[in-house]
Amino acid sequence: YAEEIAPGLTPGDTLVFGHGFNIRFGYITPPEGVDVFMVAPKGPGHLVRREYVDGRGVPVLVAVEKGASGKAWDLALSYAKGIGGLRAGGIKTTFAEETETDLFGEQA
């Protein structure tokens, strides 16, 4: 991120995540003026694809960390819909909640 992505970010850009870990634990700090959202499917990529192709979807967690443009939620929901996630259901969350529940679920 620091070498390849951050130098090219300017106000009005958007960073999209599939997991909240790097934002939650401070490994990535987006600059001001950049939208930051997450669409986290509750299943592995091959399942997301299979369900999408079959006209269904895998539930998704959706969060906006920074909504500088005022349009981050609309864009996040369009991504969630685009991968079929809203067919199965979308849950509003935060980067911290998604990360902590995911890590807990992997350990419990």
Annotated binding site for Mg(2+): 102, 106
Q: How many CB atoms lie within 10 A of CB 80?
A: 25
Whole-angstrom Cα distance, residue 59 to residue 84? 8
Considering 19, 66, 81, 87, which one is annotated as catalytic? Answer: 19
Q: Which residues contact 42 (CB under 8 A, 6 or more apart)?
A: 58, 59, 60, 61
Does the annotation count 19 as an active-site position? yes
Q: For residue 67, give both structure tokens.
A: 């909504």
Catalytically annotated residues: 19
